[in-house]
Amino acid sequence: MEKGGNPKEIKSLLEKFTNAHGISGFEDDVRELLEKEIEPYVDTLRKDNMGNLIAIKKGEGPSIMLAAHMDEIGLMVRYIDDNGFLRFVGIGGWFDQTLLNQRVVVRGKKGFIPGVIGSKPPHVMKEDDRKKPVKIEDMFIDIGAKDREDAENLGIEIGTTASIDREFVSLANGKVTSKAFDDRAGIVILIEVMKRLSKHKIEANVYAVGTVQEEVGLKGARTCAFGICPNLALALDTTIPGDHPGINKTDSSLEVGKGPVITVADASGRGLIAHPQVLKWLKDTAVENKIPYQLGVGSGGTTDATSIHLTKEGIPTGTVSIATRYIHSPVEVLDMADIEACISLIVKAIENVGRYF
């Protein structure tokens, strides 16, 4: 029986990656971190035209693409007003309310600048307005600037990006909270899988890819899958559990802490319907190695698998996800035990891929 990883090390990797900032299209910091962490465990590393990072471990056998996206949802400045307040658009799927009164990190030309998303005080709101959610187009970032010129001198211009300022914290019972577990959890799994596979020969060519711009249309994975054209692929991502107030078991059967989620279908089948042989391979591997898992059928979001599996003549593809509460908010919550079980599942699956493909 192969030993698991060092839980402390995995947790500190997750902390490092979720504390980093990289919204869609601006993943440079995350890519640099990933490059550094994964480099010791692979044979070659390269960045493609879109900015995807492709790390390859060579072996005899089928080629497998593992994809985790580096980007997080964020904000982009669209207008600087005369008083120095920044108006912005959301990049990726925000639930507007979660943004109100958050602290943000603004990526100015001269470095990071702290800011806050301000709002009209409830004291001066009309009764009717107080009941209405504030829309993103009515929000603004306050960086403390005196006026537009001052904001520009601080390094702000149209197109400047911002992300949520929220750091990783441990909760009770192995749970942790941070921003951007979607999908830095997948990135950490990618690194740890390559680390464990690096210890011996494998009967597969593994392409571990940190993809770009997943949150704005699964873009990096699309071009990258075309370039690699692997024999099969897995997307590693996060998904919605139904185990907390406000959501029912009938909306999602998934629970945090009950093992990685093997997707059967997402977005009611409009995103991915997992390839039957990929499903069999993953389920058999979990059962044989006594790794807990949950089967997922979703009606909402999609993952990189959606664009990967439609590449060229079609690529057998699946998704393995970590059940994560409050996805796309600054306070996502997951269970470290699910991360460990997911790493084990992917490693074991790759080790016996020859029996299935």
Interface residues toward Zn ion, by CB under 5 A: 182-183, 237
Residue type, 323: A
In whole angstroms, how close is the CB of 130 to Zn ion at the nearest point?
34
DSSP structural state of residue 133: P
In whole angstroms, how close is the CB of 307 to Zn ion at the nearest point?
13
Q: Which of 37, 192, 214, 332 is catalytic?
A: 214
In whole angstroms, how close is the CB of 171 to Zn ion at the nearest point?
21
Question: Closest-CB residue for Zn ion?
Answer: 183
CB of 115 or CB of 301, closer to Zn ion? 301
In order of 47, 51, 66, 248, 274, the CA distances from 237 in angstroms are 21, 19, 11, 22, 14
Give the whole-angstrom CA distance, residue 118 versus residue 107. Answer: 18
- DSSP string across 251-297: T----TTS--EEEEESGGGTS-B--HHHHHHHHHHHHHTT---EEEE
CB distance 259 to 338 below 8 Å: yes
Q: How many CB atoms lie within 10 A of CB 348?
A: 19
CB distance 324 to 185 below 8 Å: yes
Angle between helices 7-19 and 181-197 (to 10 degrees): 140
Supply the Cα-derived Rg of the chain in whole angstroms.
21
CB distance 64 to 231 below 8 Å: yes
CB distance 143 to 86 below 8 Å: yes
CB of 86 or CB of 180, closer to Zn ion? 180
In whole angstroms, how close is the CB of 110 to Zn ion at the nearest point?
31
214 is catalytic: yes
CB of 59 or CB of 241, closer to Zn ion? 241
CB of 37 or CB of 183, closer to Zn ion? 183
In whole angstroms, how close is the CB of 185 to Zn ion at the nearest point?
9
Residues marked as catalytic:
214
